[in-house]
Structure 1
Amino acid sequence: MGGAPEVAILGAGMAGATAARRLAEAGFPVRVFDKGRGVGGRMATRRVAERGLAFDHGAQFFRARGPAFAGRVAAWERRGVSAPWAGAGRHVGVPGMTAPVHDLLAGLPVATATTIVRIGGAAGRWHLTDAAGAEHGPFTALAVTCPAPQTAALLAASGLALPGVERATYAPCWSLMAAVPGGPDTLLEGGSSGPIGLIVRDASKPGRPPGGRLVVHATPDWSRDHLEAERETVAAELLRALAGTLGAALRPTWAAAHRWRYAQVETALDEPCLYDPRLRLGAAGDWCLGPRIEAAHDSGLALADRLIDDLGAAR
């Protein structure tokens, strides 16, 4: 649609990808920016090419409770983008957890490894500056879908604000990826004490190759206490705890730890999204509605609909 307002979307996780797809389907050009090497946000798959390994080291599954996300998941499953796993309404991306986000962003312009550090300009002529000093824009409207603390920091650095974003809080999570023989066949909850909150054998998920690839998520309290520890130290401690939990000596052929500083929402805003029509600036994410992938989806959808109504009325 020539001349339609272009929207910049910061963040290529579930919220940003959902907003981008909704806007594109409504005829609005979008450009998506993400600081990561790939898309997906916490719906992440770590690939170790030299070892032929892959781990879902972020979110392990998603559930669909409301009609909007349930319809989306049903469509993904018909096309093999996701599949049920481990009962209790759990679903996973296929062949990795990033697959649904890749599907939403298919055919849309996405700039990865691009950290936006400043927003300049004003409504209708926003410009973005990235960490390398490059300028992007102008854009008619902006949608920021990063974790709430990152969103708040970017807005503050740009002399902007969306009241409420500072109220959202997160728990961190250290994630251990280990190639070891054996382990649980599916998902194993950790005990009430100790560092381990969750153990998953990646091969138990549909569409994954066989092999002893384990993902361990540390508990929020343990992760918070060890937030600034060295990755090697965290990996060693979690391997020891894993051996104790499984009651077996472990001889990993490869292991690494990944820190998710903003892993799970602890305090949400209980509103679908934030949007300032005067600025044509909005924000969305699971931090708006709750600690679920579905919440991120629904928040991104809500922000896209606000933008569509606003920009459509201004045509």
Structure 2
Amino acid sequence: MKKRRTVAILGAGMAGASAARVLADAGLPVQVFDKGRAVGGRMATRRSASLQFDHGAQFMRAHGSAFAARLAAWERRGIVAPWAGAGRRVGVPDMTAPVRDLLGDLSVHSATTITRIRRDDGAWYLEDAAAAVHGPFGAVAITFPAPQSAALLDGSGYALPDVGRAAFAPCWSVMVAAEGASTGDLIEPHEDPIRLIALDASKPGRPEGVRLTIHATAAWSRRHLEEPRASITGSLLEAAERHLRVSLRPIYAEAHRWRYAQVETALGVASLYDAALGLGAAGDWCLGARIEAAYDSGAALARTIVADLNGAA
């Protein structure tokens, strides 16, 4: 019996975008679903009026040949550029640019929260928070952070091995626009409460101005996870002033809580896939705490799905 060939990808971060690109390049129809208003996942950019902040992942680096080749191709096309040394690359004009490029003109359903998946007569259907049903699909690829993937699977009555074993650290992120002047690009104290301070204007293609993104350490974020945003903002601003040895005069300050910011325990496998169901999962939590790991994991899952669906054609 022929399998349906359209694939649903849940999540439009790097893993989902990488999977979508491999599937589309192999000739399989793809539909991508994401709860956010914009693609990128943790490769996120926040805008407020004329202000812009990369408040999630700050940069990318390549350790393997596949992602190195992709970064080089993006750099030739002006989609990424070097920043802050040590092989770091950033998206241009923001960190979502590489994800947008991978997704290209593919079908992306933004602001769509998938609450349940179900299998009926050999095909997959997705139910969203607005009670709409999407499908049928021949396969489903879930690329959410592992805790969110596990919750969707459990709530839908399905399972994939070891998803619950992957663990994440949280991160409080504070975005600050200030008066005055600032120099430098990236400071990484790795000392409570601050893990890093990134000066956004130092990144290629960014607007001028003093805009800082402050990331708290995992330990401090975990201890203060449920505190009010105003309290978090005040604490991290004060700590940033100590590290920068300046008095910041904020004209804008906002905190964002990343509950699943960085992988602490990875599964050590490229991806997960149940061929009998046509159900898989991918993400940095499969391979490690890097954007490259998300890219590699998504691509690996997509290749498995291509082989499965083409073999059953």
Q: Could you say whether these structures have the same fold, taking a TM-score greater than 0.5 normalized by the shorter chain as the test?
A: yes
- Tell whether 2:16 aligns with 1:16: yes
Match of 1:6 in 2: 6
Per-residue deviation, 1:122:
4.2
Q: Hey, what's the Cα distance between the residues in 1 that align with 2:181 and 2:59?
A: 21
1:56 alignment counterpart: 54
SS in 1 for 2:232: helix
| Corresponding residue for residue 126 of structure 1 | 124
1:109-139 Cα shifts (integer Å, max 9, x gaps): 0011111000012474111000111111111
Matches within 5 A, 1:8-157: 8-49=8-49, 52-122=50-120, 124-157=122-155
SS in 2 for 1:176: strand
CA deviation after TM superposition for structure 1 residue 102, in Å? 0.2
Report sequence identity in percent. 64
Amino acid at match of 2:186: L
Q: Distance in 2 between matches of 1:184 and 1:199?
A: 12
Q: Distance in 2 between matches of 1:265 and 1:305?
A: 23
Residue 69 of structure 1: SS of its match in structure 2? helix
The question of 1:241 aligning with 2:239 is answered: yes
| Alpha-carbon separation, structure 1, partners of 2:65 and 2:91 | 19
Query: One-letter code of the match for 2:34?
Result: D
Q: SS where residue 250 of structure 2 aligns?
A: coil
Query: In the aligned structure 1, how far is the partner of 2:9 from the partner of 2:186?
Result: 34
Letter in 2 for 1:177: M
Does the residue aligned with 1:253 lie in a helix, a strand or coil? strand
CA drift of 1:191 comes to 5.0
Tell me the residue number matched to 2:280.
282
Give yes or no for contact 1:176–1:258 (8 Å, CA) kept in 2. yes
Aligned equivalents of 2:108, 2:79: Cα separation in 1: 20
- Report the residue type matching 1:173 in the other structure: C
Q: For residue 294 of structure 1, what is the aligned residue in structure 2?
A: 292
Q: Aligned-pair distance for 1:243?
A: 1.6
- What TM-score does the superposition give when structure 1 sets the normalisation length? 0.96
How far has the Cα of 1:248 moved from its partner? 2.2
CA distance in 2: counterparts of 1:182 and 1:293, whole angstroms: 31
**Does structure 1 conserve the Cα–Cα contact (< 8 Å) formed by 2:4 and 2:123?**
no
RMSD of aligned Cα (Å): 1.2
Deviation string 1:125-173 (CA, Å, 9 cap, x unpaired) is 1110001111111111000000000000000000000011000000000
Structure 2 counterpart of 1:199 = 197
Q: 1:253-287 deviations in whole A, cap 9, x for unaligned? A: 00000000000000000000000000000000000
Structure 1 residue 249: deviation in Å? Answer: 1.8
Tell me how far 1:178 sits from its aligned partner.
0.2
- Residue ranges of structure 1 left out of the alignment (5+ in a row): none
- Name the structure 2 match of 1:186: 185
Q: Residues 276 and 169 from structure 1, CA distance in 2 versus in 1: closer, same or farther, beyond 3 angstroms?
A: same
Residue 156 of structure 2 corresponds to residue 158 of structure 1: yes
Once the two structures are superposed, what CA deviation does each residue of 1:75-127 show, in whole Å capped at 9, x if it has no partner?
Answer: 10111000111110000000000000000001000011111000012474111
> Aligned with 2:141: secondary structure?
strand
In the alignment, the residues of structure 2 paired with residue 182 and residue 255 of structure 1 have an alpha-carbon distance, to the nearest angstrom, of: 17
Give the distance between the partners of 1:124 and 1:253, measured in 2 at CA.
56
Distance in 2 separating the partners of 1:228 and 1:122: 40
1:123–1:140 Cα contact (<8 Å) kept = no
SS of 1:88's partner is: coil
CA distance in 1 between counterparts of 2:70 and 2:190 reads: 34
Q: Tell me if structure 1 keeps the 8 A contact 2:31–2:107.
A: yes
2:8 alignment partner, SS class: strand
Matches within 5 A, 1:202-281: 202-281=200-279
Instruction: Normalising by structure 2, report the TM-score.
Output: 0.97
Matched to 1:36, the amino acid is G
Aligned pair count reads: 310
Distance (whole Å) between structure 2 residues aligned to residue 183 and residue 216 of structure 1: 14
CA-CA distance at 1:34 after TM superposition? 0.4
Q: 1: CA distance between counterparts of 2:120 and 2:281?
A: 16
> Which secondary structure state, in structure 2, belongs to the residue aligned with residue 254 of structure 1?
strand
Does the aligned pair in 1 maintain the 2:4–2:138 contact within 8 Å? no
